[in-house]
Chains A and B, each alone.
Chain A
């Protein structure tokens, strides 16, 4: 165990390496860094707070035993931790559909976006990035946004989404890819996106 300040100075991948060596302080530091967002994500999928609690607990306690799913790419650790959280939360609502957020009101999984910050203040780069994601989501054609939400928040497979939205599987696949392409574009900036693009050979 080191001091909390030491952990705070470590990169995500370094924390993961320490977790595999059973360093509880590193796990706490990772929780401090990514726990609130994991909780936010689980809350967007599951209605009941006690179940959300349990999911986030399971995610972090699971990492104690096996942190391999987070990988060693430090930029991806947070995203993968959220992916693990999403996997657990969607697995739960697939088993217990009544636990799904909004199911009691007959709602299907949909993005409810955080409100835009008040104008006038100076936004940090991170806030600008979130705003870009929000705008990209809001600007997506409704079928693309719906297909993304059903997969991302609902845990439905592409084939299941096709049945739910009464569309061809190929259409749904294209919608999901199109939606994610827009998100990538929003994050990378239009200019960067135009210069890189898909380079598969």
Chain B
């Protein structure tokens, strides 16, 4: 696409962008332009606000009460608890009160810990389910690309990137990737089509876990023919790959073996 220059062209692109109606190449171009143009960001903000109000002009539909319960259920939350009525009792002796207070404190800490553990388990389970739904959603969107990642020389493990070039949303599925050296994390990179790994842009880092893993990510909208690579990087990640990749998509494999 010719880079937009005129006022009218930018206004049209901003409108299409706010509506989500641009073609992928225009969307990508305008998205890049936005980064460096406060005037277009302001205009886009106004358009987003106007589109938000547009929904209010539609005939109102009332959500069923069960919808809120369904959301709550899916979050794994238990419904509101009713408080027990407080009963008046005879005041017990001081020693008994102190013992009871200590027991109550211990119970509260115990319950809090138990609650925390449950919440953590719940969070893990919710994340796992949501990641699985994200993969399904991407695969069913009709706009996803699936790219296999293979280990470079001497490495192990496998990966698959399922991503939408349009939204930039994606999931990296990993199997048996050996852990990185001490003090390092793994980092996913996106490589624009036809570029080398030195042109890679960082997507996200994660702390590796043994076995299989699902890593969700959100990058800038990508070209549909983007390649992917995984490297080990110092904690916090890097702006450019500093070590040879451990996994690459097949079109980068030759490049990686040369650089490694």
B-binding residues in A (CB < 8 A) = 22, 24, 27-28, 31, 35-37, 39-41, 43-44, 49, 52-53, 56-58, 60-62, 64-66, 68, 73, 75-76, 78-80, 82-83, 86-87, 90-91, 94-95, 111-115, 126, 129-130, 133-134, 137, 148, 151-152, 155-159, 161, 173-174, 176-177, 179-181, 183-184, 187-188, 198-201
What is the chain B residue whose CB lies nearest that of A77? B52
Choose one: B12, B53, B59; the contact of A174 (CB below 8 Å). Answer: B12
Choose one: B49, B53, B59, B119; the contact of A40 (CB below 8 Å). Answer: B59
What is the chain A residue whose CB lies nearest that of B44? A76
Chain B contact residues (Cβ within 8 angstroms of A): what range?
Answer: 35 or more
User: What's the Cα separation between A65 and B126 when bound, in Å?
Assistant: 8
What A residues does B86 contact at CB under 8 A? none
Query: A66-B218, A87-B20 given as contacts; is B51 within 8 A of A40 (CB)?
Result: no
Give chain A nearest CB distance to B122 CB in angstroms: 9
Query: A82-B51, A200-B43 given as contacts; is B58 within 8 A of A111 (CB)?
Result: yes
Is B94 engaged at the interface, CB distance under 8 Å to the other chain?
no
Asked whether A173 lies within 8 Å of B16 as measured between CB atoms, the reply is: yes
- Rank and list the top 4 A-B pairs by shortest CB-CB distance, nearest first: A79-B52, A43-B61, A177-B15, A39-B63
Give chain B nearest CB distance to A125 CB in angstroms: 12
Asked whether A200 lies within 8 Å of B47 as measured between CB atoms, the reply is: no
Query: A39-B63, A39-B67, A151-B21 given as contacts; is B130 within 8 A of A112 (CB)?
Result: no
Asked whether A37 lies within 8 Å of B11 as measured between CB atoms, the reply is: no
Q: Of B68-76, B180-188, B252-260, which stretch is located at the interface?
A: B68-76
What is the chain A residue whose CB lies nearest that of B43? A198
Asked whether A86 lies within 8 Å of B20 as measured between CB atoms, the reply is: yes
B41-90: which have CB < 8 Å to A?
A: 42-43, 45-64, 66-68, 70-72, 74-75, 77
Asked whether A161 lies within 8 Å of B55 as measured between CB atoms, the reply is: no
Give chain B nearest CB distance to A175 CB in angstroms: 9
Is B19 engaged at the interface, CB distance under 8 Å to the other chain?
yes
Give the dominant DSSP class at B's interface.
helix
Asked whether A157 lies within 8 Å of B142 as measured between CB atoms, the reply is: no
Give chain A nearest CB distance to B19 CB in angstroms: 4
User: What's the Cα separation between A134 and B57 when bound, in Å?
Assistant: 6
Asked whether A36 lies within 8 Å of B130 as measured between CB atoms, the reply is: no
What is the chain A residue whose CB lies nearest that of B51? A79
What is the chain B residue whose CB lies nearest that of A61? B74
Choose one: B8, B18, B56, B74; the contact of A57 (CB below 8 Å). Answer: B74
Q: List 14 A-B contacts (CB under 8 A).
A: A24-B77, A27-B71, A52-B61, A57-B74, A80-B52, A82-B51, A86-B20, A91-B141, A151-B21, A152-B51, A156-B21, A176-B21, A183-B54, A198-B39
